[in-house]
Amino acid sequence: MGVQKNLKTLLSERSNEILKNGFAFGINIPQQRSAPLCPPQSDSTLIIVEINHTFLNKNNNPIATASYYLDRGANIIAISAQDGFFKESITYLMQIKNTFKKSTILRKDWIKSPEEIEVSYKIGADIVWLSIATFINQIDIFETILQEIEKYQITPIFQIQNLEEFNFLKPYNPQFISLALDSVSNRQDIFILKQEISSISNQIKIIFQSHINNNHDGYLIGASGFDGIFFNVINQTTPLPNLIKSYKKGTKQTNIFYQKLFDNLAFKNKPLIKICGITNIDDAISCAQMGANMIGYILSAKNPKYIDNKTIKQISKALKTLYPDVLLIGVICEDSLELKNAKELLGQNILDALQLQMPSNPPYFANQNLTQADFNFYLSTTIEKYTSLQESYPPFILLDSINKSPNLEKLKTFKQLFVAIQNERDLSELLEFDIAMLDIDITKENDARKKDLEKINQIIYKIKDYSKITKH
């Protein structure tokens, strides 16, 4: 509620400033635009860098700041009125556009009036940022603003935070959308929202505009199919060139694990089902036939369910032919040789992602800094350790050994968890929680390398039956 209250205060101050000094906030703006319009290129990756008065006040040179980021890969500079610096943002925008006339400049302010589009055009903006939340109950004003945008040929980027806002916007055929969420803890929702929008229209360019912690986030955003990133320099410690490199590597990833995963979570009944510890092709195909969404192989040689590369390749080839939507996961312990081998299997598209045990010295896993990782993975840990995890980890965590924990109630506060179960007793209670995936490892009593297919089938049936009931 604090964020909303601050926003209300900001918008109130902005309205009062306009009443007092006009739509240009008292700044003397040119009567005619002097710089050419430079719209964003819809066929290129959009790297938007947002700078504002708070940041510039420390660096004291808007021209040098814009030049720095343009030289390092940004193709759009966004001038923000964050924290209420409305006048300053107009001044900075004019200075930067007049210096970099052929660059694309975005005005990021809480525009609410049609008259502000003319102001934006005259001061040199090529793009205006519009928050759809502002217009949900003001359709007439919104449509008038769109008419002004068309008149001045400025490009709009629409920020939305949920599917309701997208449904409001959809009839207006948006070309560019940025997705933003207020809560960092729910950031996985932004990826699911992206898949929902992409399924409705594949013509819209979707930009990630939320918290970016590190290079792995950049990779994750690219691998999830986003068409661009919105980089706010005031909150970042990761150098932009490194982030862009990671993001672009993600966009070139042929293994679309994250897109498939978020697509499953968006459109299939949760929880998803993973069968772990598969050692033979018969069990793998049987589990896929039953409806498993994910199959797990254990790559640690000391584990009794260890499976060698040759067998993994045989099983994966069969599954990718017969059940191409089933995701294949390599499970490893913190060992540099295991990690090297698993990453090679990832690179060959034999595996779709890795499941890593919680590292002993996070964020390092076998000397690999996971915040810099450019491969698909998620972590496995316990409820107790999960509560101490930092925000810099991926949006999915597998909770193991939950049947040994007295803290099941904590699950109610977590979002999109993967949870491991080893018996049917765990199932009923867990289905009451918002679980993204259930990891099932149930073997025959006399053979740990073979699955108890009858029990697994019973559990899968209960999961799917529960999902149907809750969906309706």
Q: Which residues pair with 50 in a beta bridge?
A: 78, 232
In this predicted structure, what is the pLDDT of residue 1? 34
Helix (H, G, I), strand (E, B) or coil at 110: coil
> Please, are residues 418 and 353 in contact by the beta-carbon 8 Å criterion?
no
Count CB atoms within 10 A of the CB of residue 10.
Answer: 16
State which H helix or E strand residue 76 sits in. Answer: strand 76-80
> Please, are residues 353 and 327 in contact by the beta-carbon 8 Å criterion?
yes
pTM higher than 0.95, yes or no?
no
Helix, strand and coil percent figures for the chain, each rounded to 5: 45, 20, 35
In this predicted structure, what is the pLDDT of residue 4? 42
Q: Which two tokens stand for residue 222?
A: 């690219």
* 272-275 and 447-451 beta bridge pairing: unpaired
Domains of the chain (ranges; CATH) run 2-253 (3.20.20.70), 260-471 (3.20.20.70)
What gap in Å lies between CA 153 and CA 433, rounded to an integer?
Answer: 49
Q: Which two tokens stand for residue 136?
A: 């949900």
Q: Which residues in the chain show pLDDT less than 70?
A: 1-5, 54, 56-60, 182-187, 233-237, 384, 386-395, 401-416, 422-426, 468-472
Tens-place pLDDT, residues 22-46: 999 999 999 999 999 999 988 889 9
Cα 244 from chain centroid (whole Å):
15
* E-only strand ranges, 172-311: 176-179, 205-208, 228-232, 272-275, 294-298
Identify residue 228 by its one-letter amino acid code.
G
What gap in Å lies between CA 84 and CA 90, rounded to an integer?
Answer: 12
Tens-place pLDDT, residues 321-370: 999 999 999 999 999 999 999 999 999 999 999 999 988 888 899 999 99
In this predicted structure, what is the pLDDT of residue 405? 52
